[in-house]
Amino acid sequence: QGGTPMAQPALATIERAAVPAIRQTRLFINNEWVDPLDGTCFDTLNPATGEVIASVAQGSAADIDRAVKAARRALESPPYSTMDAADRGRLLVRLADLVEAHAQELAQLESLNAGKTIADSLGDMQGVANSLRYYGGWADKIEGRTPPVRGNFLTYTLRQPVGVVERHVARRHGP
């Protein structure tokens, strides 16, 4: 009736992150993407919707054995076995650079898989890069400490890489 129209309430909009392309779901063993020996896969689910994100390769004990053997060969063979500690550290720093360069895509994948906000996942990616840089910086700074002993003896501590470890990541979803 002749007055100013009522202001419409502002609607909050929630911007959803773009769904990232799932480029790889196989096992990474011996520097290549491979299928599990028994062909087993599992569905990873979006925790917000319950929808399948992707069918992912499920490593068995045999796959772990094959990965550990390949990693042991890589550890004991050139170029890694003859690589200077400073160069090993530079590899970790380079990986940190790559995580930062691809942080948006990695954060989108983490958010989709874990149900986290993009801001949280971006923070996680920065934490990953920071950790890689921290350990990369230590690579050429490990030094021995000589423990005191009684008598006329030469003692020293020699720190060496122990070798290969397997990391099992438990599934959150699926069978």
pLDDT of residue 136: 95
CA 94 – CA 154 distance, rounded (Å): 39
pLDDT of residue 152: 83
Q: Using an 8 Å Cβ cutoff, are 66 and 32 in contact?
A: no
Tokens describing residue 92? 């970790």
pLDDT tens, position by position, for the chain (175 residues)? 555 555 555 555 555 556 788 999 999 999 999 999 999 999 999 998 899 999 999 999 999 999 999 999 998 999 999 999 999 999 999 999 999 999 999 999 999 999 999 999 999 999 999 999 999 998 888 766 677 778 887 777 777 766 776 666 655 554 4
pTM of the predicted structure, to 2 decimals: 0.74
pLDDT of residue 174: 47
Closest CA to 34 of 72, 8, 4, 64: 64
Strands 32-34 and 41-45: unpaired
Q: How many CB atoms lie within 10 A of CB 170?
A: 4
Closest CA to 105 of 3, 18, 6, 4: 18
Alpha carbon 127 to its chain's center: 11
CA 108 – CA 60 distance, rounded (Å): 28
Q: What is the pLDDT of residues 9-52, one digit of tens each?
A: 555 555 555 678 899 999 999 999 999 999 999 999 999 889 99
Tokens describing residue 132? 């890689």
